[in-house]
Amino acid sequence: MGRVGAGQLRAPVSLSVPARTPRQSQPRLELRKACNCNLHARRCRFNMELYKLSGRKSGGVCLNCRHNTAGRHCHYCKEGYYRDMGKPITHRKACKACDCHPVGAAGKTCNQTTGQCPCKDGVTGITCNRCAKGYQQSRSPIAPCIMSPVDLPGIRTFGAEDTSTPVAVLSFLLEFCPMVFTHPPAPLCQAVQIHILKADKAGDWWKFTVNIISVYKQGTSRIRRGDQSLWIRSRDIACKCPKIKPLKKYLLLGNAEDSPDQSGIVADKSSLVIQWRDTWARRLRKFQQREKKGKCKKA
């Protein structure tokens, strides 16, 4: 059907009431009825399919909704805007811009009812403009909020810059082979490079989601590369150890205690965690070769 307009914003008109005469087999349009466009459109058109679906009551469709509205009756906000519930839908400013934060938000489209923008991990707020509890601001536009450093409980932890350990961390590597590559396995019998992703409280345990980058020594339970869980008992979280930071890489040496799930490893007071240095990879591979040749000391 063609467009029919009243020429006034307040009352756009649609040919919306088809009627039949006794001698006509097809309906004819005989009455004009005002469309309900909530004062946001000047014109409307008639749609026969909508007319039938409405039980032959109305087939009007508003055209060119203004004031950031959309819909058949200009009755909701268009994408990128949300309803200001303090104003009636007929108000010119009934729809407000989402205003999602360009860094903290994962997109520009918000919930059209609440105005909540889709936030990136660790980000909160209606417009995603601040870090959530337990997170701190980073300098990355991809991950603007990262988990705050967490103390690893009762575990010997050394930073890459730590020089307080015997002859610093590098000297530890000289002891690595006799401590780990032994038969039968010594107390420190697992050696893996891990990437800390996040931490969550799980009952009597802390569950760290980690990515196993490299496995230098297997314990009694076989460890596979990829995302796994690192479990630490909550009762051990009471020391003043250096903090393990999310998104950092570490070398983890520990025993092969069973974890609360099948795809995880456990760290305890006998474990050793050292901030990773890329220069160690080659040296650790040499230790692996020595162990395979039986050159490592027995426990």
Give the DSSP letter string of 120-164.
Answer: PTTEESTTS-EEPTTEEE-S-SSS-EEEPPEEPTT-EEE-TT---
The pLDDT, as a whole number, for residue 85 is 92
User: What is the structure's pLDDT at 257?
Assistant: 60
Any idea which of 73-77, 135-139, 151-155 has the lowest mean pLDDT?
151-155
186 has a pLDDT exceeding 80: no
CA atoms within 13 A on the CB side of 44: 32
Domains observed in the chain: 35-96 (2.170.300.10), 98-149 (2.10.25.10), 190-293 (2.40.50.120)
Identify the top-confidence range among 120-134, 225-239, 257-271: 120-134
- For the chain, what is the total number of helices (H) and then of strands (E)? 3, 22
Query: Comparing 210 with 274, which gets the higher pLDDT?
Result: 210
pTM of the model: 0.43
Structure tokens at 31: 């009455």
Amino acid letter for position 155 = I
Q: Identify which of 203, 179, 198, 199 has the alpha carbon closest to the alpha carbon of residue 189.
A: 179
Higher pLDDT, 150 or 72: 72
Question: Among 130-139, 143-152, 185-194, 279-288, where is mean pLDDT lowest?
Answer: 185-194
Phi, psi of 280, rounded to the nearest 5 degrees? -80, -25
